[in-house]
Amino acid sequence: MNLKDIEGFVTAMESAGLARFVCTVGSEKLKLVRTPQVNGRVAAQPERVDRDAPAMETVSIRSPYTGCFQRAHPLDPQTAVEEGSPVFAGQVIGYVRVESVLFPVIAPIDARVERLLVADGTLVGYGEKLIELGGDSIKANSTYTGNT
């Protein structure tokens, strides 16, 4: 796999609207995850930490803005995540409505929804904890701790 191959994968992901792509060629494995941007800003981006730090058992996802938290898009209520639901890195797991604009809340890693910390329709402040993610994938992935 070379840089030109990877650039082709990224282009294909963008044109297809994919958030996650995994490719295995021989002994090489490539995992690409796109973090959606809204108005040029990355939503709910996790913080990077030292790989030697102890792994956390939960990741708190915080509000990217001050606004009204919505668990699902108003045009697609089926997208709401529930406690215990598996989520993958790059998946939209909620929205923060600021006036008439919906800003996505993005899962930074593959995990499971442990707790929904705020009810649908609740007014939330910037950085307020919205959802806790947990599961074995968090213990295995000590690169991300989320916005805790």
The predicted structure's pLDDT at residue 137: 53
The predicted structure's pLDDT at residue 98: 93
The predicted structure's pLDDT at residue 80: 82
Below-50 pLDDT ranges, the chain: 42-43, 45-55, 139-148
CA dist 106 and 88 (Å) reads 9
CA dist 78 and 75 (Å) reads 9
CA dist 116 and 123 (Å) reads 14
CA dist 92 and 17 (Å) reads 13
The predicted structure's pLDDT at residue 97: 94
The predicted structure's pLDDT at residue 144: 38
Q: Topology of domain 38-140, per CATH?
A: OB fold (Dihydrolipoamide Acetyltransferase, E2P) (2.40.50)
The predicted structure's pLDDT at residue 69: 95
pTM for the full model?
0.56
From the centroid of its chain, how far is CA 28? 25
DSSP string, 41-93: EESSPPPB--TTSPPPSEEEEE-SSSEEEESSBTTBGGG---TT-EE-TT-EE
pLDDT digits (tens, 9 = 90+) for 67-109: 999 999 988 888 788 999 899 888 999 999 999 899 999 998 8
The predicted structure's pLDDT at residue 13: 73
Question: Which sequence spans correspond to the domains of the chain?
Answer: 1-34, 38-140
